[in-house]
Amino acid sequence: MWIKNPVQSTISILILRSSLVFTLWDRPNLIHQSLLLAASIFRIGGVYVSLIIRWRRRRKVMRLFNGFWSLYVAKPRVRHLLRRGVFCKFLCAFLTEWSQMMTGLSVIYNYLTPGLVLTFFSLFALTALLNVIISEYYFAMINVHAHYILLNYELHSILEEARLLSLKCYSHRGRGGLMTRCCYLADRVDEIAKTQFDLQTLNELMIEIFGVQGFCIAFIYYLTTIALIYFTFTAAKSKMLNLKLSIWSAVFTCGYILFYYSDGFFGVFIMFYVLDADAKMRRLLGDRTLLATGLDERLETALENLQLQLLRNPLRLSVLHLYDVERPSAMIMINSVVINSLLLIQYDIEHF
């Protein structure tokens, strides 16, 4: 019946999420119910929307996968830079889902029925699927970051060698060997420019594929944080927390909150790291003015073309092209969470 009627299953899941919270709260008011319902709708709706978009854009998803695979084959050293990030993400995602499942089981353990068990695991199957979708974007971003690290390292070594060659450019001895070496460095700069262009193309493809999912995830975290702050205030104000909550339920709940936000921070900070790596590349190219003007013209042209490529098409991480993901925008979102939480608290004080 659950498989044949997805609408009824979704409603059952929303009711289950509400019952879990109402078990913890003796007297949930209208704001509690509204926040919980809105967060649940966006969380479950985000899964359905993501699956639909993923199916409709499956060709672009395969292009994205093939593009990263081609870069990986060309630079296999990148795997050493991926290990720690992949392991931390996998561990944090696993602990998030495990602690969420244990929290729910500890709350409804005494009320389990076959229908409730089916609905319960259907709920966490959807949330786990949403976590998998988030992880796909994280793994794509960590690949971009790893390749940027390699490009910056290679560009730094090229500029250092160019500085050493610039000290010899005024000497007539070994002039032919100097020009040959400059041409070799120019070829390496061209390869860096090509790889950076490929990364930029893949980033634009990621924005198109993961844009709606990114918006849903950001809004889910936004509502969840406001709800958490408001629930904490109401618990401290009127002691609505159910004293029958076991110690294990409290531990699993705290663990879930910790791992849930840690998982979100992983996704946000990897985007900041990518932007920092791109900014570092621009700073390295800004140092090319310190090189002697007597170097081979082809090397100077290659460095100039790479710098113009970065200036003409800068790396941008946006959500549906509505706003760019930057540190200032993250601070604006945090300020908005605090302001709206205070408004809810003020409304609660006046009316409840």
What's the rounded mean pLDDT across residues 97-110? 76
Check residue 148 and give its pLDDT: 94
Higher-scoring residue by pLDDT: 194, 34: 194
Distance CA 115, CA 68 (A): 43
Distance CA 82, CA 146 (A): 7
Confidence band for 27, pLDDT divided at 50, 70 and 90: low
pLDDT tens-digit readout, 75-99: 888 888 888 888 888 888 888 888 8
| H or E segment and range at residue 323 | strand 323-324
Distance CA 137, CA 121 (A): 25
**DSSP state for residue 290 in the 8-state scheme:** G
pLDDT tens-digit readout, 123-153: 777 777 777 877 888 899 999 999 999 999 9
Indicate whether 172 pLDDT > 60: no
Indicate whether 300 pLDDT > 70: yes
pLDDT tens-digit readout, 221-242: 888 888 888 888 877 776 655 4
Check residue 133 and give its pLDDT: 77
How many angstroms separate the Cα of 307 from the Cα of each of 182, 204, 273, 295?
Answer: 18, 19, 20, 17
What's the rounded mean pLDDT across residues 32-54? 76
Q: What percent of the chain has pLDDT over 70?
A: 80
| CB 154, CB 188: distance < 8 Å | yes
Higher-scoring residue by pLDDT: 74, 170: 74
How many angstroms separate the Cα of 21 from the Cα of each of 17, 51, 62, 102, 131?
Answer: 7, 27, 40, 14, 21
Distance CA 228, CA 264 (A): 15
Check residue 5 and give its pLDDT: 45
3-class SS at 104? Answer: helix
Check residue 154 and give its pLDDT: 92
Q: Which two tokens stand for residue 87?
A: 């392991």
Indicate whether 311 pLDDT > 80: yes
Confidence band for 295, pLDDT divided at 50, 70 and 90: low
Confidence band for 168, pLDDT divided at 50, 70 and 90: low
- pTM value? 0.82
pLDDT tens-digit readout, 52-81: 888 888 888 889 999 999 998 888 888 888
- Among 148-152, 171-175, 245-249, the range scoring the smallest mean pLDDT is 171-175
Among residues 195, 164, 183, which one has the least CA distance to residue 68?
195
């109401």: which residue's tokens? 234
